[in-house]
Amino acid sequence: MAPLLAAAMNHAAHPVLRSHLGPNNESFSRHHLSSSPQSKRIMDGSNADIGANSYHMYKTDVRLLKEMGMDAYRFSISWPRILPKGTVEGGINQDGIDYYKRLINLLLENGKTPFFLASLFMESHNLVFKGIEPYVTIFHWDVPQALEEKYGGFLDKTHKRIVNDYKNFAKVCFDNFGDKVKNWLTFNEPQTFTSFSYGTGVFAPGRCSPGLDCAIPTGNSLVEPYIAGHNILLAHAEAVDLYNKYYKGENGRIGLAFDVMGRVPYGTSFLDEQAKERSMDINLGWFLEPVVRGDYPFSMRSLARERLPFFSDKQQEKLVGSYNMLGINYYTSIFSKHIDISPKYSPVLNTDDAYASQETYGPDGKPIGPPMGNPWIYLYPEGLKDILMIMKNKYGNPPIYITENGIGDVDTKEKPLPMEAALNDYKRLDYIQRHISTLKESIDLGANVHGYFAWSLLDNFEWYAGYTERYGIVYVDRKNNYTRYMKESAKWLKEFNTAKKPSKKIITPA
């Protein structure tokens, strides 16, 4: 196993103005509707029209990957770049197909140097060098705007139209890229997408219940996230079923990637321990248990009740086992504190169905770990080990990739980050080292981990944060032709991947 890199194409590439790309819900809300409330919710008033300009600079980015000794690169395919109107009937954009083919071919043509980190995780290993392996995410939150307008996108209450259109999009991807791509993720972070798009309304289309602060306060924050989530699971199952029926001969792997914020009981009481479990059911089990067992967690069924849709027997049959690898995106952990389950408490958001408050500070008034730059990430690699042990002991220990892990450095008008400070990202380096070391511990305990992707290769557009948070191990100078500069974390990874004895050893957790 070795450290790898990830990016989302609607963060890093050129998502509009080129190649007949159709608008997606994000670009439409934040660019085309420049006068809408949603467009004004980006912290710096920016948009993702250019991102990190990877659309034009992908050759430079692949050279960087090769120079750093990376043997895999995770990226997403933009649905409206391939199907501008969201459907196959609306036409396939050959320019979009050709762009991804160029990227995939270039990755595979660039052989890598040996990853000596593999020996850290395995007593014996056989390394076969076949270039930089593409790990492709089919959907990373960019719903074609045409489908939003046609039937509400993932809020399709028939549970058929969005599922069928997504399946057809996946088929186009398999048909055009399946001969080269052997690792597929159907969805990235469905819990965050559904809760933030239809619960809090932070992400496009920006829906929430009346009285809450969002762009479209005419939704239902207790119902719509579950409708969207149900459609995502059905779409995932159909795509995997399609792949297994018609593309199995390509010897690929397919699954989906979960965003998991670790949970720690606020106190030592049994009630707080139960609060932690309920929180994990929504945070992880919501999308994991249906593909493992065929239904939502018992606590969600008990507390959300009729607001949570049901699966038919046929749907359950397709869901169970619809993966042969899974992704875990991990950044930090938080405390969970019990809330009494009683008529006196009325949930406002779907995540309130955990009946647990999520606390940044523990009973001693201290956060779970040192702050890491952007306001919500605290250093707590132990949380990653806890999650991997849950996967091992509760969910059958499936093959796992850490598909995102990293921190963002704040860079705002009020608090500008000088380039020199950004390049000397020793806090990120420490964060990455500690999490890799914790992965070693987890593997020693039996966790079935196969790879680790840092988030991300480049400083890019970060949703509502715009360009105010720099997550990349490579600095992007947006004011000077998007020139790339390796940060200290990138230099360390390069040395670690290409030298038998890197000068800076991995930190052993205290």
Question: What Å distances lie between residue 37 and 68, 97, 202, 292, 450, CA to CA?
Answer: 42, 34, 11, 39, 43
Asked about 189 being catalytic, the answer comes back as yes
CB atoms within 10 A of CB 483: 12
Q: What is 249-283 written as a DSSP string?
A: GG--EEEEEEE--EEEESSSSHHHHHHHHHHHIII
Name which of 315, 324, 391, 383 is nearest 186 in CA terms: 324
Token couple for 3: 């450290």
CA atoms within 13 A on the CB side of 143: 28
**Residues across the chain:** 510
Q: What is 353-386 written as a DSSP string?
A: GG-EEEESB-TTS-BSS-B-SSTT-B--THHHHH
Q: Are 45 and 466 in contact (CB under 8 A)?
A: yes
- Give the C-alpha separation, 296 to 302, whole Å: 10
List, in order, residues 6 or more apart from 29 with CB less than 8 Å away: 36, 38, 39, 204, 205, 206, 215
Q: Which of 26, 133, 148, 189 is catalytic?
A: 189
Cα torsion through 76, 198, 472, 284, rounded to 10:
-80
Question: What Å distances lie between residue 362 and 135, 270, 274, 369, CA to CA?
Answer: 38, 16, 16, 10
Asked about 123 being catalytic, the answer comes back as no
The conformation of residue 338, written as its DSSP 8-state character, comes to E
Q: Which of 26, 148, 404, 469 is catalytic?
A: 404
- Give the C-alpha separation, 429 to 492, whole Å: 8
Give the active site residues.
189, 404
